[in-house]
Amino acid sequence: MATKHIHSCQLRQRRRWRMPLAAALLLSTAPLSAELPIAETRMIVTLPESWTGDASGRLLVFAKPVKAGEPDQADVDTSTFDPQAVSVAARDVTTFGAARTVQINTQEVAFPAGFAALPAGDYRVQAVLDRNGDYNYGGRGPGDLVSKVVTIHWPEQTPATLPLDRTIPDQAMWDFSDAPKDVQQAVTDAKPHLHEELFESPALSAFWGRPITIRAWVLTPPGYSSDARQTYPTVYETGGFGSTHRRDIAMAGRIWGMEAAKDIPPMIWVFLDHSSLGTGTTEFADSVNNGPWGHALTAELIPALEKQYRMDAKPQGRFLTGHSSGGWATLWLQVRYPKMFGGTWSTSPDPSDFHDFTGADLYAANTNFYRDAAGKPRPLIRDHDKLIATIPDFARLEAVLGHDGGQFRSFEWVFSPRGPDGTPMEMYDRTTGAVNPAVVSYWRDHYDIAHRIETRWPELKPDLDGKVHLFVGTADTFYLDGAAHRLEAVMKKAGAHAQFTFIPNKTHFDLYERDGDKRALTKDIAKAMYETARPEAAPVKKRPARKSSRRH
């Protein structure tokens, strides 16, 4: 079924001011006609005169209290790490009509509540028309229409007008002029060695009934062209939620810098784009909703690349690594296709055991995704011991920002069965948080990695044993260390050999840093991969002196 909108109460806020107690008592006996005027919760949004034709999309209006020292024209937007700091209202727009104008009632679909609940004061307000339906994934982007920031005093008695007077321009693939200087330099240095691959997948195209392309960048190592007889181990990397084909260029730049400096061994790196189709991330998992992405990668793209580039083209030369959602994707690919890959080094992966899905046991009776058994909102984001955001905050904001593309909806596009209306079935009710046991049962049988290992280990062991390497911080920002502990316990119980590293006090975002080196973990992982592919290149470890068994 389609994502439900969040409907706030249809209440109106009266204008507030201080008055003497006697005056207040006098007014309390006044007739109804003397009541204060009702605040206007509607806003008017218009297309610019320069805009040719009509427009449609998800209309969003953001409101944030004015703060001293904040630039008047700085964009107003939501933040994952302070979700209640900005209010947002939404509606779908199919046409602006002949008047080139639409109204949005900020009471009807809004987070954290209808705008009538806003305290009186000055607010910076901005409208955005999300024309591609991808705000939940990457925020405002090329083609979206944006208004200037307008300062209003709330509550207003007449609707505020917000003209959409700016179109966000396309950003050139290689334009990183707004990035830090070190990123710009890394991209410049990597460019001659970075090759774009746009592979039209027969399997995905057949599923969707139109051409579907898998996008990837192939980074060849220093000296690649000097010896045509040499082959290289190959690393397949996927980014986290929000990563894109363009952003992968910056990641490739960092890898090139380490290879050029000989901080990591020479290998071919393939940066896979798993953002697609407006549904979030595909995770390179076969899905009844997204299509056969796992099959397309392993049976189509990789064989094609191995014909074109000097890759080892054997399991002990194919490796996987990724962070966050990319960590789950690479962990899944290794477990799902154990014969194909020689090992995964997955960092901070999304939940791999649905007994701990960001803190919620989806298999428990009467589970509520929003609240625990005591009725307390489930935490989702933390900064060590400080709670930043809860699951209901995050989920309700996602539902306001758009129908698809958000993190939770993305899980459903990958994991859920298809509903009667042709869209993924919801794992949880958007209003109440109640978990759907039938949907969860489907998730378990098809995508719960721990369940797969627990029930299929004898079948998996010959090709999977020793190939799983997982790293996560004990203070992971999204509590992902919980599911990792559960997966480790399942693998230990099965007798599997695996490497689980829980790095003390590290979060989702500083996991790779050690002793001032922001890429220390990347270097460790790259060296471990290379030693797996080229065991003869591994440093010889001294064995401890053997004690004599002779008796004296």
Sorted by where each begins, the domain ranges of the chain are 21-167, 181-353+448-536, 361-445
Q: Which fold has domain 21-167?
A: Immunoglobulin-like (2.60.40)
pLDDT recorded at residue 543:
53
Q: Which long-range contacts (CB under 8 A, 24 or more apart) does 148-153 make?
A: 148/73, 149/72, 149/73, 149/74, 149/75, 149/76, 149/124, 149/125, 150/124, 150/125, 150/126, 151/66, 151/72, 151/122, 151/123, 151/124, 151/125, 152/122, 152/123, 152/125, 153/120, 153/121, 153/122, 153/123
Topology agreement, domain 21-167 and domain 181-353+448-536: no
pTM as predicted: 0.89
Q: What are phi and psi of 334, to 5 degrees?
A: -65, -40
Q: How far is CA 494 from CA 27, 263, 351, 430, 498, in A?
A: 75, 36, 19, 37, 11
pLDDT in tens, the chain (552 residues): 333 333 333 323 322 223 333 333 223 333 333 343 467 899 999 998 889 999 999 999 999 999 988 887 889 999 988 999 999 999 999 999 999 999 999 999 999 999 999 999 999 999 999 999 999 999 999 999 999 999 999 998 889 999 999 999 998 999 999 999 999 999 999 999 999 999 999 999 999 999 999 999 999 999 997 777 899 999 999 999 999 999 999 999 999 999 999 999 999 999 999 997 789 999 999 999 999 999 999 999 999 999 999 999 999 999 999 999 999 999 999 999 999 999 999 999 999 999 999 999 999 999 999 999 999 999 999 999 999 999 999 999 999 999 999 999 999 999 999 999 999 999 999 999 999 999 999 999 999 999 999 999 999 999 999 999 999 999 999 999 999 999 999 999 999 999 999 999 999 999 999 999 999 999 999 999 999 999 987 776 555 544 433 333
Please report, for the chain, how many H helices and E strands are present, in that order.
14, 21
As given in the structure block, the two tokens for residue 40 are 């206007």
Distances in whole angstroms, Cα of residue 41 to Cα of each of 76, 103, 150, 359: 19, 10, 16, 37
What's the pLDDT score for residue 102? 97
Closest CA to 512 of 251, 177, 176: 251
Kindly tell me the burial class for residue 90, based on how many C-beta atoms sit within 10 Å of its own C-beta (0-12, 13-18, 19 or more): buried
| pLDDT for residue 41 | 93
Domain 181-353+448-536, CATH 3.40.50.1820 — does that match?
yes
* pLDDT of the residue at 157: 83
